[in-house]
Chains A and B, each alone.
Chain A
Amino acid sequence: MDADRDLMVRIQAGDRRAFESLYSRYGPPVMRFLYRLCADRVFAEDLTQDVFLKVWRAAAGWRPIPGARLSTWLFQIAKHHGWNEIAKRSRRAHVRGSPLTSDAVARAADHGAEGPGERLARAEWAQRVDAALQGLSPKLRLVFVLVRIEGLPFAEAASIAGIPVGTVKSRAAAAEVALRRLLRPEA
C-alpha cells in the first residue's frame, strides 16, 4: 500500500519511471480485466492504454484514502472507460461457432507443460468461456469478471461497479447460472 502511495506521489511530480513501475504492476490485471470484458486482444490493448493515459492525467487529483486500495481506483477507471467503449461496440459472440484462434492456443500453451491434447482442451475451454461471457448481459459480465475471474472480494467489486454488495452477490450468482447454461455441452 505504501509502495503504491509512493509511486503515486512520484507520478504526481511527473516521474515517468514511477509511472512505468505502476504500469508494470497494474497493467497486467487491468488488461486481463478488460480482455475478459471484451474478448478482443487488440481492443483490450487499446483500452488498457487509454485507461493508463487517463490515470496519468488524473494522477494530480489522486489523494490517498485510508483503507482504500490503489487497485480499486484503477479498476474504477478501467471499468468506467472500458464499459463505455465496450457498450459502444455492443459486440456479442455466441458460444457455438467461435473459431479456435491461434492466439487462444498460444496463450493456453503459456500456461505450463501440458500435452497437446490438454493444451487444445484448455484453449477451447478458454474460448468457450470468453464467448459465453459475451453472451451475458454487461451488468452480469462485469460482476462475474470482477468476482470470479479477478477473485476480488465482494466489497471491492461493489466499489468498482458502483453497486451495493448485495447486488454484487446476486449478480454473481445469476451470472453463474447463466454461464452454466451457456457452457453446457449441449448448449
Chain B
Amino acid sequence: MSRRVTHADLVARALGALPAEAKAQVDQAIEADAALRRQFEEVAGHLLAYDRLPPAPPPPPFARLDAALDADFAQAPDLSVLRLPRRAAPRWLNPWVAAALLLAGLLIWNATDSPRDDQQGDLLLLPGRGLQLVRGEQARPAPALAAVAVLAGDVLTCDEPAEAQLGERVRLVLDAGARLRIENAERVTLEAGRAWFEVRPGAFEVGTAHGPVRVLGTAFEVDLRTGALDVAVAHGRVAAGGHELSAGQRLVASSSIEPDEGRAGAWFQRPSLIVAGGPARLGEPLRLVLRLENRTSTLLTLPAPSDARFAFWLHFADAEGQPIREIPILPAQIVAGREFLRAGGEAELRPGATREVTVEIPAPFTSAGTYLCRALYRPAGRPGVLSDARPIEVRE
C-alpha cells in the first residue's frame, strides 16, 4: 500500500534513519514517482553537501581568553552565593498543565457552595507537596496538585522545602521553616527563613522587616535567617535597599546599616586587598601583610577557606610588570592571622573592618632589584580578590 511521502521522510531515508517497513514504502513511492525521485536526489545531494562543508574557523587562541579572564577577574560576579539552587520545575508545573489546573480549580471553586469571604480575591495558588496554608488561627496542609484561592493575610509555611505557583507569574520555593504572608498578586512578605522566587516580568515585591525587595523581572533568593537581609540574584534585576542588583550580585545588609546612595555598583564591591611589607634582602625570608579591607558601608560575607583548600597566592612581576612567577602561600607560611582561615563557614567583614594575614616566604628572590607583588585571595570556586601591585625592593 502506498503512503504519502513527506519531505521529512525523504530526509530520514537519505540519512538511513527509517525503519525497514517505512523505508520500503518510501523506496516504492520514489520508484513510482519521477518528481519525487528528483526531489529525493536533491535532498540527498544537499545532505551530502552539508557533510562536506569546509571546517569553520578555529576559535581564538586561549591566550586571548586568558587575558580576558584576568581583566574580568576583579569584577566577576560570584554565582556560588546562591545557596538555594534553582530546581527544575516539576512536571506538574509545566505552564500548560499549571494553566489547566488553575482553570479547573477556578471552575470547581465557582461550582461549589463553599462560603466565600467578601475579601476573597482571585489569586490562585498551586501548591506543591508539603506546603502548609495558615489562615487565621488555623493551619492546614494545602492540597497538592489542586488550585487554592488565597486571601490577603494567608501565610504559607512548610517543614521541608516546598514549591508553589502563585498566580500566573510567580514560582516560589520556600525553605523549611520559612513563613511567607500573601498580600496580593503583586506583593508578599517574607516573615522568616528564606525563599526563592522566579518572577515573570511585571511588578512584584517581597516585603521584609528590613525593607522591600522589588522585582524587575527575575529570579532571586531572599534570606532572613541570620537576622540580616540577604538577597542574591540569579538572573534579571532586583531593587533592594535603594539599590539595583543584577545577576550574580548579592546584598547582605542588617537593618542598622544604611546602604550607600546610588547604584548597586557603588557598594557591591569586593573588599580591597592590600599588600604591606618593607624592603627585603636577598637570601632572607620575605614577610608580607595581606589585608582584606571592607571600604563599603555594607556587610560583606567572605568565604573562609580551610587550610586544605588554601586561597592565597602571590604574583611577582619585574618592574615593567612582566610576570615572573606565581606562588601559592602554604599554611606553614602563615605567621599571623590564621584564625581568619578557620575551617569552613564564612567570615563577616563589617564596614570598615579588616582581616590581616601575615605570611613569610623563604627567600623567594635570586637577584636584587625592584619587583611588583600582587596578592590573590581566591577560595575554591570563587572569582576572588586581586590586590593592586605593590613594589618590593630587594637589596643585596
Q: Tell yes or no: A163 within 8 A of B by CB.
A: no
How many angstroms between the C-alpha atoms of A122 and B248 in the bound complex?
45
- The segment from B68-76, B109-117, B238-246 that touches chain A is B68-76
Q: Tell yes or no: B382 within 8 A of A by CB.
A: yes
Q: Tell yes or no: A1 within 8 A of B by CB.
A: no
How many angstroms between the C-alpha atoms of A59 and B380 in the bound complex?
11
Q: Tell yes or no: B347 within 8 A of A by CB.
A: no
Chain B contacts with A in 111-135, Cβ cutoff 8 A? none
Provide the A1-25 mask, 1 if CB < 8 A to any CB of B, else 0.
Answer: 0000000000011101001100110
Q: Tell yes or no: A53 within 8 A of B by CB.
A: yes
Chain B, Cβ-Cβ closest to A52 = B65
Q: Nearest Cβ distance between residue B293 and chain A, in whole angstroms?
A: 22
Q: Tell yes or no: A94 within 8 A of B by CB.
A: no
List chain B residues, Cβ under 8 A from A53.
Answer: 65, 68-69, 72
- The segment from B44-52, B251-259, B335-343 that touches chain A is B44-52
Chain A: residues with Cβ within 8 Å of the partner, total of: 51
List chain B residues, Cβ under 8 A from A61.
Answer: 79-80, 82, 85
Q: Tell yes or no: B59 within 8 A of A by CB.
A: yes
Asked whether A36 lies within 8 Å of B56 as measured between CB atoms, the reply is yes
- The segment from A69-77, A82-90, A104-112, A134-142 that touches chain B is A104-112
Provide the B362-396 mask, 1 if CB < 8 A to any CB of A, else 0.
Answer: 00000000000000001011111000000000000
Q: Nearest Cβ distance between residue B217 and chain A, in whole angstroms?
A: 15
Q: Tell yes or no: A60 within 8 A of B by CB.
A: yes
How many angstroms between the C-alpha atoms of A173 and B80 in the bound complex?
41
Q: Tell yes or no: B60 within 8 A of A by CB.
A: yes
A56's contact among B54, B56, B69, by CB below 8 Å, is which? B69
Asked whether A169 lies within 8 Å of B58 as measured between CB atoms, the reply is no
Q: Tell yes or no: B53 within 8 A of A by CB.
A: yes
How many angstroms between the C-alpha atoms of A7 and B309 in the bound complex?
17
Chain A contacts with B in 76-119, Cβ cutoff 8 A? 103-104, 107-108, 110-111
List chain A residues, Cβ under 8 A from B62.
Answer: 20, 23-24, 27
A45's contact among B7, B54, B60, by CB below 8 Å, is which? B60
How many angstroms between the C-alpha atoms of A59 and B59 in the bound complex?
20
How many angstroms between the C-alpha atoms of A126 and B57 in the bound complex?
12
Asked whether A149 lies within 8 Å of B380 as measured between CB atoms, the reply is no
A60's contact among B7, B8, B66, B382, by CB below 8 Å, is which? B382
B248's contact among A28, A57, A129, by CB below 8 Å, is which? A57
B55's contact among A19, A107, A179, by CB below 8 Å, is which? A107
B54's contact among A60, A104, A172, A173, by CB below 8 Å, is which? A104
Could you list which residues of chain A lie within 8 angstroms of chain B, going by C-beta atoms? Answer: 12-14, 16, 19-20, 23-24, 27-28, 30-32, 35-36, 41, 44-45, 48-49, 52-53, 56-61, 63, 103-104, 107-108, 110-111, 122-123, 125-126, 129, 148-149, 169-170, 172-173, 176-177, 179-180, 183
Q: Tell yes or no: B43 within 8 A of A by CB.
A: yes
Q: Nearest Cβ distance between residue A99 and chain B, in whole angstroms?
A: 16
Asked whether B65 lies within 8 Å of A60 as measured between CB atoms, the reply is no
How many angstroms between the C-alpha atoms of A41 and B77 in the bound complex?
29
Asked whether B57 lies within 8 Å of A108 as measured between CB atoms, the reply is no
Given contacts A57-B72, A61-B80, A108-B54, 6 further A-B contacts (CB under 8 A): A28-B56, A30-B59, A48-B59, A49-B59, A110-B55, A122-B54
Asked whether A27 lies within 8 Å of B59 as measured between CB atoms, the reply is yes
How many angstroms between the C-alpha atoms of A31 and B59 in the bound complex?
5
Given contacts A60-B79, A125-B49, A129-B53, contact A23 B65 (CB under 8 A): yes
Chain A, Cβ-Cβ closest to B11 = A176
How many angstroms between the C-alpha atoms of A35 and B43 in the bound complex?
24
Q: Tell yes or no: B138 within 8 A of A by CB.
A: no
Asked whether B382 lies within 8 Å of A103 as measured between CB atoms, the reply is no
Q: Nearest Cβ distance between residue B179 and chain A, in whole angstroms?
A: 27
How many angstroms between the C-alpha atoms of A179 and B380 in the bound complex?
48
How many angstroms between the C-alpha atoms of A117 and B80 in the bound complex?
55
Q: Nearest Cβ distance between residue A105 and chain B, in whole angstroms?
A: 9
Q: Nearest Cβ distance between residue A138 and chain B, in whole angstroms?
A: 18
How many angstroms between the C-alpha atoms of A59 and B69 in the bound complex?
13
List chain B residues, Cβ under 8 A from A107.
Answer: 54-57
List chain A residues, Cβ under 8 A from B382.
Answer: 14, 60
Q: Nearest Cβ distance between residue B378 and chain A, in whole angstroms?
A: 5
**Which of B55, B56, B66, B381 lies at the interface centre, i.e. has the most chain A CB atoms within 10 A of its CB?**
B56
Q: Nearest Cβ distance between residue B49 and chain A, in whole angstroms?
A: 6
How many angstroms between the C-alpha atoms of A44 and B55 in the bound complex?
14
List chain B residues, Cβ under 8 A from A19.
Answer: 69
**Which of A19, A60, A173, A177 lies at the interface centre, i.e. has the most chain B CB atoms within 10 A of its CB?**
A60
List chain A residues, Cβ under 8 A from B322.
Answer: none
Asked whether A57 lies within 8 Å of B55 as measured between CB atoms, the reply is no
Chain B, Cβ-Cβ closest to A21 = B62
List chain A residues, Cβ under 8 A from B79.
Answer: 57-58, 60-61
Given contacts A23-B62, A56-B69, contact A14 B57 (CB under 8 A): no
